[in-house]
Structure 1
Amino acid sequence: MNPMTVVLPFALPPTELAGDLIRVLETPAFATLLSRHKRLQTRIVDSESRALPHEIWLAQQTSQPGAGIALAARAMQAYALGAAAQQGYWFMVQPCHLQLARTHLLLADQRHLNLSEAESRALYDSARPSFEQHGGSLLYATPQLWFWRADGWASLDTATPDAAVTQNVADWMPEGEHARSCRRLQNEIQMAWHEHPVNQAREARGAALINACWIWGGAEAAHAARAPLAIAGGPDWMQALADSAWRQPDVQQLLAAPRPLLLPGLIGPAQAGEWSLWLERMHAIEQEWLAPLLLALRSGQLNQLTLLLNDRERTLQVDCTRMGLHAFWRKCNLDNLITQG
């Protein structure tokens, strides 16, 4: 018998909407786990953190203590770039779209860019000379994920893309000793891509322009570590943190060999405020994961199930045991999604 941890980013709905959302959620297994727990702990997130709570958790699983959100070198191993990552300091680079709001720039969610292989390769070739001039090699992994070696830039303090989405971009730009040089590099990329044929074609068909790149996740090669994670979907960089056999697991695979599981499907809808899609995905998580895991806990196949829930501002840890499920005097509901924090 083994314990299991399930991480559910953005399973905590916004306080102002939580009451309405839980009234239409039909998730009895989730309600049971939230109500008949052994222990429940809530924590307010540091408002100045440049990563979201689940991203900090991921970094803790895959990096050495104290390394920060050092994910690049570990992610490189998934794309046959492990040899390059054996030395130097590497960042993740993601082509992105900045859109103008009334008074500031916003970073668009990269999940919706639909950037093709051909488009990304063309933009990569255009950007590579600038990256190499400011640092070292720029390596291509996928259309939405490149890696850049910049050995002298280890002190650059960056933010994750999902932390910056829907926020004023100016508040999330890189900081530190090399922030000005980084901004110069980003300006060069913007100029190179401004009238690039890729963007001319995208504009003609009404697609978002690829007008910037997001640099983040810097890691020393020595900080990369392999961790027994399972990740069901998510962007390329996130899936890269799990071994290939564990990037789209099913519940039986997890029960046969329990390991921490990240379910990132709620992030995009919550960030975009698409609450009907959020409800749809919560119902799918209930059926595909929470109901079978509750059954495994009841039968003794698992001896403990821990849920880690978060939004941008709060985290909620719920520890559930087989014995705790016998607390029949606790009414099963989703109220802890509201009352905690």
Structure 2
Amino acid sequence: MAHLTLVLPYALPLPEFAPDLARALNTPALAALLSRTSSHAQHRTGEAVHALPHETWLARSLGLEREGRPAFAAAAMRGLGLDPGEGNWFIVNPAHIQIARSHLMMADLRQLALSEDEGRALFEAARPLCEEAGHRLAYGDAGTWFLRADAWTGLDLATPDTVVGMDLTDFMPKGDKALPYRRLQNEIQMLWYAHPVNAAREARRLPPVNAFWLWGAADTNAGRHSAMLTHAVPGWLAALGGRRLDTLAGLDAVLGQDAMLVAGDLAEAAIAADWGSWVMGMQRFEEQLFAPLLATLKDGRLKRLRLVLSSREALLDLSTTGLAQRKFWNRPTLARLSA
């Protein structure tokens, strides 16, 4: 019998919305999984964070952490068929930065809907500027590039999902090492401002790609983790795993061995505070994940299920087994979503 770890970013609602959202859910299987457990723990983040709880958890679980920060770049490169070799590599995400009332703000990268042709064209435009500055730029996919900058070690950079919707002033790197980064950012912004890709996107009422976000620095040659499966996650995260699932149907095929599944279906709705869509996403999880996995625990096909649910502020880590599900005296409840 196998063990499965199910990681669901944004499956914990924010505390101020949690009671109402829990009442709106019709998820009896999830309630049983949350209530009848063999272990559980909840962790809350501090105020000044540079990675979300699930990102920190993944970095530690996969051994991809450097100085307390996720160090995903080299492993993601290998997952996308690139050889990082030596040097200090960063993940580069093309981005849209907009002016709010009093500050700059980065939009959710998922909303860019950048095609391969668009990503490749913007990459080829930016590459000469990077090379002139002494940095190699490598292409992974439309929204996931990599920059080698050996002299930029120590830059204090946050993950893109950490900064989305926030005041970017609080997350921009500071100090002497940040000056070359900002200079390169400005040069590429000016180049992309009049690029045909952005003209075409604006004609289709899509946000222009007017900046890039740098993060995930790593100098290790760690590879992908073949036992990790992913569904509906950003390109860098999919690259860390061994298999991408187009659908969550047919989970029986992955229950024969120990595995981890990261499903990012809830991210866009939660980031946008679209709680109606979030509830519908949780209902789909009930049908496609929670109910089938509860059944496999009860009939013995799955020995242990570990659930890792997170929000921007907290992470809930619990485990359950077939034996734990026999605790009939523990009434199934969604109370732990509100803890």
Q: Same fold (TM over 0.5)?
A: yes
Are 2:68 and 1:71 aligned? no
Question: Which deviates more, 126-135 or 183-192?
Answer: 126-135
SS in 2 for 1:75: helix
- Distance in 1, Cα, partners of 2:60 & 2:209: 31
Partner of 1:312: 312
Question: Which deviates more, 320-329 or 54-63?
Answer: 54-63
State whether residues 159 and 216 of structure 1, in contact with CA within 8 Å, keep that contact through their aligned partners in structure 2. Answer: yes
After superposition, give the CA deviation of every residue in 1:207-231 in whole Å (9 maximum; x if it has no partner): 1111100111111133446452111
- Distance in 1, Cα, partners of 2:242 & 2:318: 27
State whether residues 229 and 246 of structure 1, in contact with CA within 8 Å, keep that contact through their aligned partners in structure 2. Answer: no
- Distance in 1, Cα, partners of 2:26 & 2:184: 49
State whether residues 62 and 224 of structure 1, in contact with CA within 8 Å, keep that contact through their aligned partners in structure 2. Answer: no
State whether residues 158 and 175 of structure 1, in contact with CA within 8 Å, keep that contact through their aligned partners in structure 2. Answer: no
Partner of 1:192: 191
- Distance in 2, Cα, partners of 1:40 & 1:157: 32
Question: Which deviates more, 102-111 or 294-303?
Answer: 294-303
- Distance in 2, Cα, partners of 1:65 & 1:94: 19
Alpha carbons of 1:300 and 1:274: their partners in 2 closer, same or farther (altered >3 Å)?
Answer: same
- Cα distance, 1:247 vs. partner? 7.2
Partner of 1:134: 133
- Distance in 1, Cα, partners of 2:207 & 2:245: 32
After superposition, give the CA deviation of every residue in 1:100-134 in whole Å (9 maximum; x if it has no partner): 11111111011111222222222112211221233
- Distance in 1, Cα, partners of 2:229 & 2:117: 30
- Distance in 2, Cα, partners of 1:3 & 1:126: 46
Q: Which runs of 5+ in 1 are unaligned?
A: none
Give the TM-score, by structure 2 length: 0.93
Alpha carbons of 1:40 and 1:252: their partners in 2 closer, same or farther (altered >3 Å)?
Answer: same
Are 2:211 and 1:218 aligned? no
- Cα distance, 1:63 vs. partner? 3.5
SS in 2 for 1:221: coil
- Cα distance, 1:200 vs. partner? 2.0
Tell me the amino acid that sits aligned with residue 305 of structure 2: L
After superposition, give the CA deviation of every residue in 1:257-281 in whole Å (9 maximum; x if it has no partner): 2311111111111001111111111
Partner of 2:18: 18
Alpha carbons of 1:272 and 1:335: their partners in 2 closer, same or farther (altered >3 Å)?
Answer: same
SS in 1 for 2:76: helix
Are 2:72 and 1:86 aligned? no
State whether residues 135 and 151 of structure 1, in contact with CA within 8 Å, keep that contact through their aligned partners in structure 2. Answer: no
Alpha carbons of 1:65 and 1:219: their partners in 2 closer, same or farther (altered >3 Å)?
Answer: closer
Q: What does residue range 1-341 of structure 1 map to in structure 2 within 5 Å?
A: 1-64=1-64, 66=66, 68-82=69-83, 85-175=84-174, 177-224=176-223, 226=225, 228-244=227-243, 250-338=250-338, 340=339
**Over the residues paired in the alignment, what is the CA RMSD in angstroms?**
1.9
Alpha carbons of 1:252 and 1:293: their partners in 2 closer, same or farther (altered >3 Å)?
Answer: same
- Cα distance, 1:299 vs. partner? 1.6
- Distance in 2, Cα, partners of 1:332 & 1:202: 49
Q: Which runs of 5+ in 2 are unaligned?
A: none
After superposition, give the CA deviation of every residue in 1:107-164 in whole Å (9 maximum; x if it has no partner): 1011111222222222112211221233321111211111111122222221111111
Question: Which deviates more, 130-139 or 86-95?
Answer: 130-139
State whether residues 91 and 148 of structure 1, in contact with CA within 8 Å, keep that contact through their aligned partners in structure 2. Answer: yes
Alpha carbons of 1:24 and 1:226: their partners in 2 closer, same or farther (altered >3 Å)?
Answer: closer
- Cα distance, 1:285 vs. partner? 1.1
Tell me the amino acid that sits aligned with residue 289 of structure 2: W
- Cα distance, 1:246 vs. partner? 6.1
- Cα distance, 1:33 vs. partner? 0.9
- Cα distance, 1:65 vs. partner? 5.4
Alpha carbons of 1:64 and 1:242: their partners in 2 closer, same or farther (altered >3 Å)?
Answer: closer
Tell me the amino acid that sits aligned with residue 127 of structure 1: A
Alpha carbons of 1:72 and 1:176: their partners in 2 closer, same or farther (altered >3 Å)?
Answer: farther
- Cα distance, 1:248 vs. partner? 5.7
- Distance in 2, Cα, partners of 1:11 & 1:276: 13
- Distance in 1, Cα, partners of 2:284 & 2:160: 26
The alignment-based identity, stated in percent, is 41
Alpha carbons of 1:2 and 1:55: their partners in 2 closer, same or farther (altered >3 Å)?
Answer: same
Give the TM-score, by structure 1 length: 0.93
Higher helix share: 1
Number of equivalenced pairs: 337
State whether residues 155 and 177 of structure 1, in contact with CA within 8 Å, keep that contact through their aligned partners in structure 2. Answer: no
- Distance in 2, Cα, partners of 1:209 & 1:328: 55
